[in-house]
């Protein structure tokens, strides 16, 4: 089945540690996104990528880093510089070019907790 997979589902991090969240898609989508959602809040864009080896900062990129070495994969690293990393992280993908009304498909999310 085609889809977008995030792992792990739950992640606990000690303060000062970097952690990497995985996001893989087999939908052949060009664009991939990372969002953060805090309780009772909307989704905020962290980073997005339109093509391999290219990515752009979203609204809250500080303390995060990404890579896009393969079309299928867009891992997110939460660094120790991120002051309040506890949140629900959602990865999404969509077709990039030429199509109208190209919706985004989401993974099931990763709940990150700093302990």
- Contact footprint for another protein (CB under 8 A): 31, 33, 35, 41-43, 45, 48, 50, 88, 90, 92, 94, 96-98, 100-109
Instruction: Write down the least CB distance from residue 33 to another protein, Å.
Output: 7
Alpha-carbon distance values, 48 to 12, 18, 44, 111 (Å): 24, 20, 11, 19
Q: Among 45, 10, 49, 4, which Cα is nearest to 28's?
A: 4
- Cβ at position 16, least distance to another protein in Å: 27
Output the smallest distance, CB 74 to another protein, in A. 14
């Amino acid at each position: 089945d085609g889809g977008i997979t995030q792992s792990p589902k739950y992640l606990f991090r000690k303060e000062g540690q970097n952690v990497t969240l995985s996001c893989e898609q087999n939908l052949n989508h060009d664009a991939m996104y990372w969002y953060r959602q805090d309780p009772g809040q909307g989704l905020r864009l962290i980073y997005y990528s339109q093509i391999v080896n290219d990515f752009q900062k979203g609204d809250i990129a500080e303390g995060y880093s990404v890579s896009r070495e393969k079309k299928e994969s867009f891992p997110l690293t939460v660094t120790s510089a991120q002051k309040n990393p506890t949140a629900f992280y959602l990865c999404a993908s969509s077709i990039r070019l030429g199509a109208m009304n190209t919706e985004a498909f989401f993974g099931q999310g990763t709940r990150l907790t700093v302990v």
